[in-house]
Amino acid sequence: MRNQAGIVQFSISLLSFLLLTSEASWSSEGKAPLKPKLILQITVDQLRGDLPMRYYERLGEGGLRYLLDEGIVFSNAHHGHANTETIVGHATLATGADPAVHGMIGNVWLDRGSGELRYNVEDARYPILTEGAGVDKRTEIDPTQKAARSNGRSPAAILVSTFSDELNLHHGGRSKVFAVSVKDRGAISMAGHTGKAFWFSKKSGEFVTSSFYYDRYPPWVAEWNARKPADRYAGKSWELLHDRSTYLFGEADDRPYETALPGYGRTFPHAYGNADNKYFTTLLTLSPAGDELTLDFAKAVISNEGLGNDEIPDYLSVSFSSTDYVGHLFGPSSLEAEDNILRLDRTLSELLRFVDQRVGLNRTLVVLSADHGGPEAPGYLAELGFEADYIDPKSFDKAGAIQRLKERFGIGEELITTYFHPYLYLNRKAIAAGKLDQAEVELAVAEELTHFDGVALAVSSSALATGNVRDTPLMRSILKNYNPSRSGDIFVVFEPNRFINDFDGLKVAATHGSPWRYDTHVPIIFAGMGMPPQRLARKVHTVDIAPTLSLMLGAKLPSGSFSEALGEVLESVPD
């Protein structure tokens, strides 16, 4: 009995100690950490991690400079997956999961059932509310958008929850969750399964959504679109913000490797044309105007939906896309990219000023990152003495080594049916008809591809499925991208500074999508909420953002997130 009494007394003492230490660690005054009224998640498409500091001396006071000076800056942040594309990065930022888990392994993937490419957020069940506002394939320059077979859109293909989902679930569905972007995939991924997403239709010149989110547009959206904000750019041009002599690349406006779209050209000024020009709205998205329209609509969301107006935390994702489009057409080390960053800085400054006015930055948690980085244009690298060039996967099937494999396996037709980055797809019908072993054919093709000019590594999905691969950083990044139901037959990694530049006949200056550091390196910055500034050089990953947000808000971690939270951020939240 004495032993039992001692155990009881010890248990009571231990419980008291745990309660006391728990209270002490919670707050020296017994108060819970201050919660934000608004979480503002900003994603800048193709903002490589070094670019904000590259132009630091010419930044304004309220945008990027505010974030760099007043925020918690992780200067060595990276995506951990191998396919650094838009939907892959956005979904990773949203879910805190690797693409192997969240399922968005590429901007498109081959649907084995139908044999057709599937666009990542396509869902024929939920058409866009504005009739005729889907993709116009005659004027669309984004090859992944052209893969869509319908105008329906939803987040159904995202296999796990997002932070915004968990925030909403935690507050009984009372958190207001919105996401805005020029790109549908940039908005839909961040809004998750429970929020509302809006994106820019280049076909209609409006911000649109689908029937997954609404039966009809809220009146304020209809009114905003009725004002036709895009038309204010009609007859105007993208002009330099400052005197040309002040730019790092001021004397490099006309380079032969830059993309010269008809009527838009590769030198300033870049004319938008008239509103009745079928390419008018497309050209807006290829310039800072796309970000300015996104900003205007985001401000309308904040005002009309009352974000941050009460003590229940709300969420707004704003994904700015112009940096990506400009990077593709002209390269990140171009006069256009430089001017775009300076204009993006102004756009961010206006967004933060507006949020401070409506909600208060002291009650707003701001986090900025990017869906991927981006490489230098091969033409620019060649000017500096690097060996860099473009590569054409369409030629692979005609190569002598693949022809010999066809003879070896008795295949009298195509063995490689298509390549859609980063996956190569084999002719499974021919392999099955010849009663061949799929894994053996994959392995043989992958082995031959590693000897091709410009190919650094090719690894079969069969090898990834069994784990029969070397344990290297590169291979781990490929495994993080592998999903057995969606990944192609062979993952191909090109050598550094070797790129694809032909997209349905459009030649671009630069293309991201690799596991090399120039594509994985992105900024991660937390700001607002009175958090003291810090600059940290330790390596962190984008999967760390979502669990950090969840823990700060006291919500469950997103269902597919197995990463670590950023302790420096959690420790900086004031009581």
Per-residue confidence band for 217, with pLDDT thresholds at 50, 70 and 90: very high
In a domain, 25, yes or no: no
Q: How far is CA 301 from CA 83, 167, 294, in A?
A: 32, 18, 11
For every residue of 154-221, which 3-state class applies, written as one string?
CCCCCCCCCHHHHHHHHCCCCCCEEEEECCHHHHHHHHCCCCEEEEEECCCCEEECECCCCCCCCHHH
Q: Is residue 353 part of a domain?
A: yes
pLDDT for position 20: 32
Are residues 328 and 422 located together in one domain of the fold? no
* Within-domain flag for 24: no
Residue of 128, 129, 195, 131 whose CA lies nearest to 158 = 195
What band does 233 get if pLDDT is binned at 50, 70 and 90? very high
The answer on 430 and 359 residing in a single domain is: no
| Same-domain status, 480 and 535 | no
What average pLDDT does this structure show over 211-238?
98
Percent of the chain predicted with pLDDT > 70:
93
| CA-to-CA dists, residue 37 to 148, 189, 192, angstroms | 37, 22, 19
> Three-class SS of residue 355?
helix
Q: In the predicted model, what is the mean pLDDT of residues 310-318?
A: 98
Instruction: Classify residue 202: in a domain, yes or no.
Output: yes
C-beta atoms surrounding 537 within 10 Å: 9
Q: Are residues 185 and 272 in the same domain?
A: yes
The whole-angstrom separation of Cα 85 and Cα 61 is 31
Residues 426 and 521 occupy one common structural domain: no
- At residue 158's C-alpha, the angle toward residues 566 and 105, to 5°, is 80
Residues 368 and 393 occupy one common structural domain: no
Q: Which helix (H) or strand (E) holds 507?
A: strand 506-507
pLDDT at 144: 77
Q: Is the pLDDT of residue 482 over 90?
A: yes
Residues 196 and 325 in one domain: yes
Residue range 437-467, pLDDT digits in tens:
999 999 999 999 999 999 999 999 999 999 9
Is the pLDDT at 66 greater than 90? The verdict is yes
Q: Phi and psi (nearest 5°) for 463?
A: -70, -40
User: Given a cut of 50, is residue 48 above it in pLDDT?
Assistant: yes
280, pLDDT greater than 80: yes
Q: Which residues contact 531 (CB under 8 A, 6 or more apart)?
A: 71, 72, 569, 572, 573, 574
- Which among 496, 531, 560 is the end of a domain? 496
Is 106 in the same domain as 233?
yes
Q: What is the pLDDT of residue 134?
A: 75
Structural domain span for residue 477:
389-496
DSSP secondary structure string for all residues of 26-61: H-TTSPPPPPPSEEEEEEETT--TTHHHHTGGG--S
The per-residue pLDDT of the chain, averaged, comes to 92
At residue 4, does pLDDT exceed 80? no
pLDDT higher for 15 or 103?
103
Last residue in a domain, options 435, 466, 496: 496
Q: Per the structure, how many domains does the chain have? A: 2
**pLDDT tens column, 103-148:** 999 999 988 777 788 999 999 999 999 987 777 666 676 777 777 8
| 322 pLDDT higher than 60 | yes
**Per-residue model confidence (pLDDT) at position 135:** 74
- Give the separation between CA 530 and CA 477, rounded to whole angstroms: 36
* Domain assignment of residue 28, yes or no: no
Query: Please, is 61 exposed, middle or buried when counting C-beta atoms within 10 Å of its C-beta (0-12, 13-18, 19+)?
Result: exposed
pTM: 0.93
Residue 454 lies in a domain: yes
CATH classification at residue 532: 3.40.720.10
Q: How many CB atoms lie within 10 A of CB 485?
A: 10
Residues 539 and 436 reside in one and the same domain: no
Does 134 share its domain with 278? Answer: yes
21 — pLDDT class (breaks 50, 70, 90)? very low
Q: 153 in a domain, yes or no?
A: no
Question: Among 445, 468, 496, which residue terminates a domain?
Answer: 496
- Considering the domain architecture, whether residues 68 and 82 belong to the same structural domain is answered as yes
Residue 467: give its domain's CATH number.
Answer: 3.30.1360.150
pLDDT at 345 over 80: yes
Q: How far apart, in whole angstroms, are the C-alpha atoms of residue 189 and residue 157?
A: 10
> Is 86 in the active site?
yes
Select which of 86, 144, 281, 282 is catalytic.
86
> Is residue 220 assigned to a domain?
yes
> What integer is the mean pLDDT of 21-39?
59
Q: Sort 170 into a burial class: Cβ within 10 Å, 0-12 / 13-18 / 19+.
A: middle
**Residue 315 and residue 429 share a domain:** no
